Amino acid sequence: MKIIVGLSGGVDSAVAAYLLKKQGHEVIGAFMRNWDSMLNNDILGNPNNVGHDICPQEEDYNDAIKVAEKLGIELLRIDFVKEYWDNVFKYFIDEYSKGRTPNPDVLCNKYIKFDSFLKFAKENGADMIATGHYAKQINGKLYKASDLNKDQTYFLSLLSKEQIGSCLFPLGDITKPEVRKIAKELDLIVADKKDSTGVCFIGERNFRQFLQNYIPAKEGNIIEKSTNKILGKHIGCMYYTIGQRKGLGIGGISGHKSGSYYVCSKDVKNNIIYVTQEDENDVLYKDNVIVKDVNFLIDKPSSWFDCQAKFRYRANDELVSIRFINDNEVEVKCKNKVRAITEGQVAVFYLGDEMIGGGTIDKVF
């Protein structure tokens, strides 16, 4: 087949391209440019002319060029800056301004890598696209990767059946150490390159400082939940997330096991952050969740349905029961209380290793 691989400049996509070529496919690489550090205010509406020179995108592109040369494949460069701004970044800022914690990587996959990129690939004669995600696609269904420590089905939870069925995931059956080993044997420049972390458009920059360029700081009170005592000040509800411990600036209490305060809830309207000592009570632990904008990949159940749910990428799978409240909204009841479920994050549903859907956490009880 003719396969266009999203070549990011990292080791995973490089080895994915190699494996496909080894299988006899016609492989073309494509580097997606999703963020422009030099774009003008009037084009993107950047309110404070914020520079983003810390984004390592150009370095990644140079690495992708060297990988393509080493593998003997063509490399295309595609510009999705406007699509990324419209479908990912604007949503990211809007959600943060509401005091929620969105996941831009999930949206990037839905709107950019498996939509704009897929359309581009089809227009250029590709039979399929491929990425370096750790996941398995079997007969149009998505399953966890063999390397459960690296499994990335969480980030693919908003994809449609058509999007899933159009993509190959060559790394689904191998582990990260095996990927590194293959890259070293091929003498690829990215063999020992660190995995990218955090949000692309922020890079190594301080996250809170970045947000302040788009969402004005607004001082408010930090209040202890159990006593209603004011412990200090914060610079804005939107800069903090549920379960956060660091960066509160209020210290801890001696004599408690945790010794620290954690954000347990936020009153965005009144600009108040509530904190708790985790060993004092269980206000950080919830067991009832409303998930909206649900993308469900199997037949919708007509009554309560048992499955597993993951409420953030590195979290454990939780035993849950779900029911549809309406066409795209689900109530989730957890068998056990779960720590720091956060509004705006993504809840992903599984039946064993099969990823069956996901949506945005809207309310937590």
Alpha-carbon span 326 to 78, nearest angstrom: 39
Residue 52's pLDDT is what?
44
pLDDT of residue 259: 65
Whole-angstrom Cα distance, residue 311 to residue 330? 14
Are 183 and 310 within one domain?
A: no
The reported pLDDT for the residue numbered 196 is 77
Q: Is residue 323 assigned to a domain?
A: yes
Which one of 55, 108, 307, 334 is the catalytic residue?
Answer: 108
CA distance 6 to 239: 32
Sign of the CA dihedral 196, 201, 203, 206?
negative
The SS3 call for residue 300 is coil
Examine the domain organization and report whether 28 and 145 are in the same domain: yes
Nearest to 131 by CA among 174, 73, 74, 172: 172
Same domain, 296 and 158: no
pLDDT of 48 reads 46
Distance CA 109, CA 200 (A): 13
Whether 167 is catalytic: no
At 252 the pLDDT is: 58
Between the two ends of the chain, the Cα-to-Cα distance in Å is: 49
Determine the 3-state secondary structure of 32 from DSSP: strand
The reported pLDDT for the residue numbered 281 is 62
Q: Do 186 and 306 lie in a common domain? A: no
Task: Count how many domains the chain has.
Answer: 3
- In the three-class reduction of DSSP (H, G, I as helix; E, B as strand; rest coil), residue 1 is classed as coil
CATH number for 37: 3.40.50.620
Q: Which amino acid is at 231?
A: L
Closest CA to 33 of 81, 74, 76: 81
Query: Is residue 145 located within the same domain as residue 227?
Result: no
In a domain, 251, yes or no: yes
Q: Which residues pair with 92 in a beta bridge?
A: none
* Same domain? 144 vs 38: yes
pLDDT digits (tens, 9 = 90+) for 209-246: 888 889 989 999 999 998 999 999 999 998 999 999 88
342 and 248 assigned to the same domain: no
Parts of the chain with a pLDDT under 70: 37-56, 198, 200, 202-205, 251-259, 279-281
Active site residue 108: yes
* Same structural domain, 34 and 154: yes
CATH code of the domain in which 327 resides: 2.40.30.10
Distance in angstroms (rounded) separating the CA atoms of residues 152 and 105: 11
Active-site residue, selected from the candidate residues 200, 237, 264, 334: 200
Q: Is residue 212 part of a domain?
A: no
Q: Are residues 91 and 176 in the same domain?
A: yes
The pair phi, psi for residue 106, each rounded to 5°, is -65, -40
Strand partners, 58: none
Q: Are residues 226 and 330 in the same domain?
A: no
289 lies in some domain: yes
- Do 54 and 66 touch, CB atoms closer than 8 A? no
Domain of 290 in residue numbering reads as: 285-364
| Residues 23 and 109 grouped into a single domain | yes
